[in-house]
Amino acid sequence: AAIVSSRAGTTRDVVEVHLDLAGVPVTLADTAGLREACDEIEGEGIRRAVARSEQADVRVAVFDAADWPALDERTLATAGPDAMVVVNKVDTRLVPDRTPSGRPVWPVSAKTGAGIRTFVQELARHAGERAGMSEEPGLTSVRQIAAVRDCVEALRRFLSCSQELALRAEDLRLAARALGRVTGRVDVEELLDVVFRDFCIGK
């Protein structure tokens, strides 16, 4: 339910947007800032912000450059030691690349766009790590691992040259089908056509 008040500036909903971040599907959630609540409405917004933060895989704590170096310790503590610390409005004041306690800082300017590209690239990297992605995609299920094993075994039989041609062709079909269970559909007949056309099988 939305938090609504007639007083300007007191809407404290968690605003979410879904997007693709360098191939990783993510949900960005913008929450209320963390501070001592002035009233019940702001207090509810802060409660929701803390609850949503606890569910997040990657946390980003955003600060105003005007507050440097007195960054709000409650926000830093709630965000956690692995949170990305972003300092906005660096077009008005330059800040170092680390907080006084030694945490990395991503200085940006929403007004000029300075630092945004670097921050987004790092955010995508963090999101990819949390999603278990790497430069070399891994096998993600027992079913996929079993399929790869079936594929390897069938290929070994195919390459052994100890069976008749028809049986070896069937092993190749089995290998292709097993591989298709991991990568998507593999056209078995097309694969066989290529193998028998381009390689000297049984000669």
- Please write the tens of the pLDDT for every residue from 68-105: 877 777 677 767 788 888 999 999 988 888 887 788 89
Q: What is the mean pLDDT of residues 104-128?
A: 89
10-63 pLDDT per residue, tens: 546 677 778 777 777 788 877 766 655 556 666 666 667 777 777 778 888 888
The two beta strands, 15-21 and 105-107, are: unpaired
Task: Give the C-alpha distances (Å, rounded to integers) separating 85 from 53, 58, 107.
Answer: 14, 11, 9
Q: Which of 175, 180, 177 is nearest to 153 (CA)?
A: 175
Contacts of 114 (CB under 8 A, 6+ apart): 90, 91, 107, 108
pTM, full prediction = 0.53
DSSP 98: B
Q: How many CA atoms lie within 13 A of 151 on its CB side?
A: 16
Q: What is the mean pLDDT of the chain?
A: 75
Residues 51 and 28: beta-carbon distance below 8 Å: no
Give the pLDDT score at 99.
82
In this prediction, residue 201 carries a pLDDT of: 46
